[in-house]
Structure 1
Amino acid sequence: MQEKVLPSDELGDKIREAEACFDRRRKSLGLILGPALGILVYALPLSGLPEEAHRLLAIIAFIATWWITEPVPIPVSALLGPVLAILFGVISPAKAFAPFANPLIFLFMGSFMLATAMMSHGLDKRFAYAILSMKWVGSSPTRILLALGLVTTLCSGWVSNTATAAMMMPIAMGLLLAIKDMHAAAGKGDLDLHQYKFATGLMLMAGYASSVGGVLTPVGTPPNLIMIGLLEQLGAVKVSFFEWMIWGSVAMVAYFVIMFVVIKKMFPADVDYIEGAEEMIREQRSKLGPWRAGEINSVIAFAVAVTLWVLPGFMAMALGAGHPLLKTYNTYLSEAVVAMLAGLLLFLLPTNWSKREFTLSWPDAVKGIDWGTLVLFGGGLSLGSMMYVTGLSKWIGVLIVDATGAHSQLALVTTFAVFSLLMSELTSHTAATNMVGPLGITVAMSAGLSPMPVAVAIALASSLGFMLPVSTPPNAIVYASGYIPITKMIKAGFILDVIGIFFITIPIVLYLVTWVGY
């Protein structure tokens, strides 16, 4: 097949110059617009809103604007949120900074350790070339994108979205390096991955597919379990593992198809086929030689983590979600504890005992952990908890219901699906579900309607936060790769959010969930 013509160097320089100019203007505008919006929101007379919640709403308007326009690094904005909340009397320092020690932060940390070990010992490249060498994948960038997406989606249905993204990111990085090698071998020169559209698409696929796959099972992502627990606690409705998978599997497939089409169209590769790629892949794979101690140890730690992450799902199917043994397991071996155990195991598995060299050294771990991402996610959790404590989330929910007159099942599902999505864009999907879930269930029951459709809509919509790094841990992880401009994530995420809500989530909830018997 004939290759597509690459843009000339001159055209590429002009495009990069235009993007740089746009970024400068965006940052300059945001620097002023953020504080201005915060002051404007605080100056508005908002009846029924407690003073602390009003101040917090102004701070969130400020911080959200800076997250989008990025006049300062996003982690700086994430730290600024709780600092401003403390200075303006919204919350105490202890409560504002407590989310930065949330177990999810340590899940991040352990996952980064695993990823660092995999990359430092070349395990990511071994996996990457193994994927590329599959007959159906070949040297087609489109099939590479599809293969990565399918593996990630299916994995995240049983392993946490965060852990899946952390596992797949180094593999995606390895694939990009392999593609870069292909370009060089084809005589196309050195490929700048930071300016390469396909690199952005591949990293977005690793992040988005981690969220999409999570809707498959109750254990796939925290919002699913949160809504199942709230339904049983507030609505006396018991949802079985199989029942959830009925609509979860349909939603997952539909989300994946739309996601793949959108990413492929927005971030295409510059060629459809790379001449001689198969030969080069075989050659590069043979150069890796036999497995080394560091690779074997990394696989051991990786396997320990995956096994302990997946085990609760099988225990839930075999014993039931409420079995005491499963509760005990989750108490002592939470996802965060498992991640840290696997990460710390890397410091104990030797690669050269006589020299006391181990799989991971502390200097390498420090370099491999993206501290900015940890700060970013902690800031998102902090803002989310403050919204709940101050009553801001409840005020917003009541305001939306009163403004839309949402009292029918269709109106309630649409309203709370959109509300849940908006909240999950500004804060973590776990925090968004905790804020929106109780409100949606209680409003549905007050209207004399089944709370099930609204609950499922909230859970599914919470997994569609694709626009900002802070929206979900997978977004934050792949954003840390450096290959995803914030404006590209916002644009792609907006398209997927709109299609996912109105053409997939709402129809599935209204027809499939009702068909099951709710």
Structure 2
Amino acid sequence: MAGTQRRPDPTTRTAASSGRPRYTAGSADGRIISPGFKEPGLPKRTMTIRWAGFAAGLVAALLMFTVLPGSMAPEAKVTAATAALMGIWWMTEAIPIPATALVPLVVFPIFNGVDLSEVGGSYGADTIFLFMGGFLIALSMQKWNLHRRIALFVLRVMGDRTNLMIAGFMISTGFLSMWVSNTATAVLMLPIGLSVLLLVNETMERSGDVGSLAAEGETAADGSKAKSGADAGSTDAGTASTGTADTDTAASDTADTGTAEPDNSSGSSIKSSVLQSKFGTSLMLAIAYSASIGSLGTIIGTPPNTFLVGYLQDNHGISIGFGQWMLVGVPIAVVMMIVAWFLLTQVFFRPEVKRIPGGRKLVEDELAKLGPMSRPEWMVLTVFVLAALSWILIPTIFDPAPISDAGIAMTVGLLLFILPAGAERGVRLLDWDTAVDMPWGVLLLFGGGLALSGQFTSSGLTESIGNAVEGFSGIPIIVLVAVLAFAILFLTEITSNTATAATFIPVVGGVALGIGADPLILTVPVALAATCAFMLPVATPPNAVAFGSGYVTIGQMVKGGFWINMISLVVITLATMTLAVAVFGIVY
């Protein structure tokens, strides 16, 4: 129209100095929108924290290099500065957590004169391949729904008493979490739990006790007395799916390895409102807590365990076998699981109903939906059992073992790619399209942590830390263990568990050498405590899963989680001073 000025497209900006397009995102005139412009922006608060963390990391690194004594080797000062930088960037997520793990590849070759191939070797350490093998087993179980069948089988055995059913959920979740990502495990168990809660609601409606159940129930996070189970399931799945692995802030977890898409087949069928209740709160927290607790049982269960084993092997020549770790980790997990079950069901959130009529039938119906156990499931189960037995028995029978734990993991992983599933022609137990969903960022994070810890030793920083803390030698070891466990337990509530372990294990290893103690005595409690985060939704993806269900408020999570943290402190301290000393042959 004549005389009408066209308003500029707000999605097209130009650089005033050159008149050239600065960027183009519009599509009204047929231009292609770049994928980057389709990404949603981050909240202002998040960006502020990240930019502040970015600057703080650089400032801390500069200060660290400046204030350290001149008598310290320049390489050691560079390593200390790099540790400060990476620690702050990891904790604030100034840049993506796996990207921070790449810093050693840039800094150490330039400033410490270390060959890139030497630094890069840490990213291919055997511990990383051990964890990769665990991922492959987990992905194959998820591909054929074997993990769901195992969970339902345990629940069927436990019956329809509410306390025993919660115990069944914890046993299923804890066992699966020893081998599968705690995020994926929690997401798997969520729709099963929601189905049980729906059944409770229907039972109470039929018996006319809805009012009493609601009266005894807890208020939801939004202040309401009820929340749609289907909505809870979808909220939950959405929350959990953001955690691609087990480094564990809920919004950005790159670490515990949640690679599987949540199975909402049960949760999506829930149409009616499910009343808020102590049983619902107890069940959701039981799933979340047991996912973290169970992962303590094996080396591959949680990234801090794996990182510890790699650190000790690479820097101190100390080897911990898969079976050895289970002798320590499984008893700790069992004790903590029992304590958590007791606190949830007998102290804080005692279920309003003692039995769920039809509870066993519901589980049997879910099992029936899976049909008889398929050939691929049997084959994956066989491979899984073969791997577990090999990890436990080979180092016990042979000395030295003809194949390492990582070698066993890779052998099993290769078998999964080779063996035909028998479902369709050419279909294998595991294919690359499935395997590519592996949380590669976690493996990068391991590599970066191992590269950093390697420089602690080779640059002389570990020795310098040891010399600086020689005065601590008069403090009883049990006090140091308890103080470290306490500090890490509460730090990991707000930071990634893997990043926390990668940052502090090398430092604590140096402290141990300085006071003349075995590195194991101080690093083991740090690794164990890094996984025990029970108080906040942001602490781990499983906690976010429980909170997102609508059955748990932050206050309830803090209430239960604080006391489980305190019990964890006692259990970790005592287990380190007794069980770990006996199994690992620690001398202090």
TM-score bucket of the superposed structures, by smaller chain: 0.5 to 0.7
User: Which consecutive unaligned segments of at least 5 residues does structure 1 have?
Assistant: 1-18, 153-162, 215-219, 234-240, 316-324, 445-450, 469-475
Separation (CA, whole Å) in 2 of partners of 1:494 and 1:79:
35
Aligned positions, number:
438
1:68 Cα shift?
A: 1.1
1:456 Cα shift?
A: 4.2
1:360 has 2:430 as partner:
yes
Separation (CA, whole Å) in 2 of partners of 1:496 and 1:131:
24
1:346 has 2:370 as partner:
no
1:170 Cα shift?
A: 4.9
Separation (CA, whole Å) in 2 of partners of 1:69 and 1:484:
24
The letter for the 2-side match of 1:210 is S
| Secondary structure of 2:421 counterpart | strand
* Conserved? CA contact 2:387–2:412, under 8 Å: yes
Distance of aligned partners of 1:205 and 1:122 in 2 relative to their CA distance in 1, 3 Å threshold: same
Question: Which residue among 427, 452, 460 is the counterpart of 1:391?
Answer: 460
Q: What is the Cα-based RMSD across aligned positions, in Å?
A: 5.1
1:147 has 2:171 as partner:
yes
Separation (CA, whole Å) in 2 of partners of 1:90 and 1:496:
46
1:292 has 2:374 as partner:
yes
Separation (CA, whole Å) in 1 of partners of 2:286 and 2:56:
30
Q: Radius of gyration: which is bigger?
A: 2
The letter for the 2-side match of 1:379 is G
The letter for the 2-side match of 1:374 is L
1:92-491 aligned at under 5 Å gives the runs 92-135=115-158, 142-144=166-168, 146-148=170-172, 151=175, 164-166=178-180, 170-182=184-196, 188-190=228-230, 191=232, 192-193=235-236, 194-195=238-239, 202=287, 205-211=290-296, 277-312=359-394, 314-315=396-397, 325-329=398-402, 332=403, 334-352=404-422, 355-367=425-437, 369-402=438-471, 405-407=472-474, 410=476, 412-415=477-480, 440=512, 443-444=515-516, 456=521, 458-466=523-531
Distance of aligned partners of 1:44 and 1:151 in 2 relative to their CA distance in 1, 3 Å threshold: same
Task: Name whichever of 125-134 and 112-121 sits farther off.
Answer: 125-134
* Conserved? CA contact 1:115–1:166, under 8 Å: yes
1:93 Cα shift?
A: 1.1
Distance of aligned partners of 1:66 and 1:261 in 2 relative to their CA distance in 1, 3 Å threshold: farther
| Secondary structure of 1:296 counterpart | helix
TM-score, normalised with respect to structure 1: 0.66
Deviations 1:241-296 (A, max 9, x none): 99x97x9898666655666689999x989998988654432211111111112211
1:60 has 2:99 as partner:
no
Q: Which residue of the partner structure matches residue 27 of structure 1?
A: 50
TM-score, normalised with respect to structure 2: 0.59
Separation (CA, whole Å) in 1 of partners of 2:521 and 2:75:
31
| Secondary structure of 2:430 counterpart | coil
| Secondary structure of 1:352 counterpart | coil
Q: Which residue of the partner structure matches residue 78 of structure 1?
A: 101
1:164 Cα shift?
A: 2.9
Deviations 1:392-424 (A, max 9, x none): 22222322333xx4325x1x4434775698799
* Conserved? CA contact 1:388–1:435, under 8 Å: no
Distance of aligned partners of 1:32 and 1:355 in 2 relative to their CA distance in 1, 3 Å threshold: same
* Conserved? CA contact 2:140–2:429, under 8 Å: yes
User: Which structure has greater helix proportion?
Assistant: 1
Task: Name whichever of 132-141 and 296-305 sits farther off.
Answer: 132-141
Deviations 1:27-71 (A, max 9, x none): 343232222222222222435422111111111111111211113
1:509 has 2:577 as partner:
yes
* Conserved? CA contact 1:387–1:393, under 8 Å: yes
Separation (CA, whole Å) in 2 of partners of 1:419 and 1:335:
29
User: Which consecutive unaligned segments of at least 5 residues does structure 2 have?
Assistant: 1-41, 203-227, 241-280, 300-304, 534-538, 548-553
Deviations 1:124-167 (A, max 9, x none): 11112112223257666843553246647xxxxxxxxxx93437
1:375 Cα shift?
A: 0.9
